[in-house]
Structure 1
Amino acid sequence: MVELPLSFNIPVRPDLSGPPATPKDAATVMLLRDVDGGVEVFLQHRVKGMPFAGGMTVFPGGGVDKRDADASVAWAGPAPAKWAEWFGCDESLARALVCAAVRETFEESGVLLAGTESSVLEDTAQYADVRQALVSRELSLAAFLADAGLTLRADLLRPWANWVTPAAEPRRYDTRFFAAVLPEGQHADGLTSEADSSGWQRPAEALADAEQGLRMLMPPTWITLNELGEFKNAAEALASPREISKVMPSLVREGDKVRVILEGL
């Protein structure tokens, strides 16, 4: 059992006697890059008014769009069936999760994990207008990649974890975590309405900021940053063996605060 060292306000359903909300499928991506002496991860500080995780520091990500399961997407790397095996889900959902990971990363950071079967994009500036069309849902990822003649590069992603929002919370997500290295030539930005600041930081520094009250981290982010801090570089992190199982924290209310308890870690 692990108990996180911080307590903070977490929304809890007023009536816990009823059934919990059904978790929505979601994907989040830890973008990594190497710096002198270690690895950095791209983090975003979510706008306080957001209905979920407002004010929290997170990795880029979001909910699955039903169009993310479009089987027409040109694909390079591990097949959806392999992702289904890793994440313990059906093949259609696995495809949607990988596509959502690529789409959300592009929408929220401008990093696009796509190219051809033998090369990866080095500059995404020409797709700025498309990025906004994806955000507004005017365009699907499948349609964008087909029109641009691009291939989704699933081989740039690695499965990392699977976290489920506690049953006591009113909004719940079944989120699969991915890791990826920032492609050479590309740049991550903060041009998203969902975050008021974004940037690169070493995991240990982000955790230190949280301990000092300078940022707020959800339990999955806290644990993941601890895990990332153990690696010397991004390649080592992506090469590390991962056993994916669903983890759902439990909440213990103490006055106006909530403690987070993690079983099985």
Structure 2
Amino acid sequence: MPSSAEHPERTSGTGRPPAVRYFEVPERHREAAQAWLERGAGIPSSTPAPAAAVVFVRDGERGVETLLTYRPGTSPLGTIGFPGGIVEAHDDDPLDWAGPTPVEWARRLGTDDVGRARRAVVAAAREAFEETGVLLAGADPMSTVESVEGAEWMRSREALALGDVSLAQVLGRRRLLLRSDLLRPLAHWVTSDFVHRRYDIHYFAAVVPDGQAASLLESRGIWGRWVDAGQATAEPGGTWLGDLVGQEDTAGRRLADLVSPGVQCVLESIAECSSAIAFLARKRTVALRNPVLEVRDGQPVLRIDLA
């Protein structure tokens, strides 16, 4: 069955990007997709949980690289994805802030809900620090923390993962400001209706501050590394990325079965850029993307409207 996951036709016959793309339903979700189709339209779907993720980029030897992590299980965000997770209640806690205001972030993210925009920014910074040890914060609006290595920082990350502390508490104890200006709005995706666990996720782009280096969380980290985006997406039907991760549920599996459509589209957009700076500087409108389940050539597929 031809699909854009197998044959990524990223331009139409006119040279413009297509208005619609089709993606295969990942293997881990095919049973749920078939059940949804058999029950017919009108079945209530679950409410998507607000979430956020950070797409870190840097210049590599072959092209632009991005930081990917492995998630065991059947997350709608994919087995392989960007550092991120759901918004927590404590992401509302007051903290010292530098950069665009929450009102400005609401405008950038295309929402009238200022509180939601603020929580998305805080959650993105929190998840990035928790999962990768990259802290988008500094002692003042012009500086960043130079090093977050060592046992004390790891304890803070573990406490965040357990929900014992908030990012506001971690920063407050060290008299640090959240540097929201280090994030760039990137994309907004909502998980398809048929999936049991759904997410309404904002993706942000960033670079790792000078002096910092990514590292996995000791208690939960399994795999994470910088990956060349062009190589990861060169053959959507290939197994290069899954073999690189090397886990039992990734080895030998195709890109379409490992990442969500949102992650694949972001990876492709990174691969199209000549440098990390070019990727960060690209002007883009953050439009909501919601993959729709339908049947094409007798098979369930996800349709993405890009117009």
TM-score by length of 2: 0.79
Unpaired runs of at least 5, structure 1: none
Output the CA distance in 1 between the equivalents of 2:77 and 2:188. Answer: 21
Among candidates 225, 228, 239, match of residue 270 of structure 2: 228
Asked if the contact 1:9–1:257 (Cα under 8 Å) also holds between the matched residues in 2, the reply is no
1:168-192 CA distances to partner (integer Å, 9 max, x unpaired)? 1111111001000111111112336
Identity of aligned residues (%): 36
Alignment of 1:42-57 (within 5 A): 42-47=67-72, 49=73, 51-53=74-76, 56-57=79-80
The 1-side partners of 2:170 and 2:282 are apart by: 32
CA contact (8 A) 1:40 1:201 kept: yes
Match of 1:36 in 2: 61
* Contact persistence 1:73–1:151 (CA under 8 A): yes
Distance 1:199 1:165, change over 3 A: same
Residues 26/185 of structure 1: CA separation in 2 closer, same or farther (3 Å cut)? same
Q: Distance in 1 between matches of 2:101 and 2:45?
A: 33
Within the alignment, does 1:249 sit opposite 2:291 as a pair?
yes
User: Aligned partners of 2:130, 2:76: CA distance in 1, in Å?
Assistant: 18
Asked whether 1:198 is paired with 2:216, we answer no
Deviation of the 1:256 alpha carbon: 11
TM-superposed CA distance for 1:196, in Å, is 2.7
Deviation at 1:154, TM superposition (A): 0.4
Across the aligned residues of Structure 1 and Structure 2, the Cα RMSD in angstroms comes to 2.2
Give 1 or 2 for the bigger CA radius of gyration: 2
Note closer, same or farther for the CA distance 1:7–1:94 as it changes in structure 2 (3 Å cut): closer
What letter matches 1:9 in structure 2?
Answer: E
Contact conserved, 2:158 with 2:219, CA < 8 A, in 1? no
> Structure 1: how far apart are the matches of 2:75 and 2:298?
19
Supply the distance in 2 between the matched residues of 1:138 and 1:220 (Cα, whole angstroms): 31
Alpha carbons 2:63, 2:230 under 8 Å: kept: no
- CA distance in structure 2 between the aligned counterparts of 1:122 and 1:256, rounded to whole angstroms: 54
1:24 aligns with 2:43: no
Q: Gapped runs of 5+ residues in structure 2?
A: 1-19, 243-257
User: What's 1:86 paired with?
Assistant: 108
Secondary structure (helix, strand or coil) at the match of 1:196 reads coil
* 8 Å contact from structure 2 (residues 230, 268) kept in 1: yes
1:218 matched residue in structure 2? 260
Residue 21 (structure 2) pairs with residue 2 (structure 1): yes
1:54/1:152 CA distance change after superposition, 3 Å? closer
Q: Match of 1:152? A: 178
User: Is the strand fraction higher in 1 or 2?
Assistant: 1
Question: Among 145, 148, 154, which residue is 1:128 paired with?
Answer: 154
Higher alpha-carbon deviation: 247-256 or 81-90: 247-256
For 1:260, the equivalent position in structure 2 comes to 302
Match of 1:143, SS state, is helix
Deviation of 1:206 (Å):
1.4
C-alpha displacement at 1:35, in angstroms? 2.2
Cα drift, residue 141 of structure 1: 0.8
Is the counterpart of residue 99 in structure 1 residue 122 in structure 2?
A: yes
Give the Cα separation in 2 of the matches to 1:260 and 1:108.
29
Question: After alignment, is 100-109 or 207-216 more displaced?
Answer: 207-216
**Aligned partners of 2:145, 2:128: CA distance in 1, in Å?**
14
Q: Which deviates more from structure 2 when the two are superposed, residues 13-22 or residues 179-188?
A: 13-22
Among candidates 189, 198, 211, match of residue 215 of structure 2: 189
Q: Deviation digits for residues 130-169 of structure 1, max 9, x if unmatched?
A: 1100000000111111111111010110000100001111
Q: Would you say how many aligned residue pairs link Structure 1 and Structure 2?
A: 261
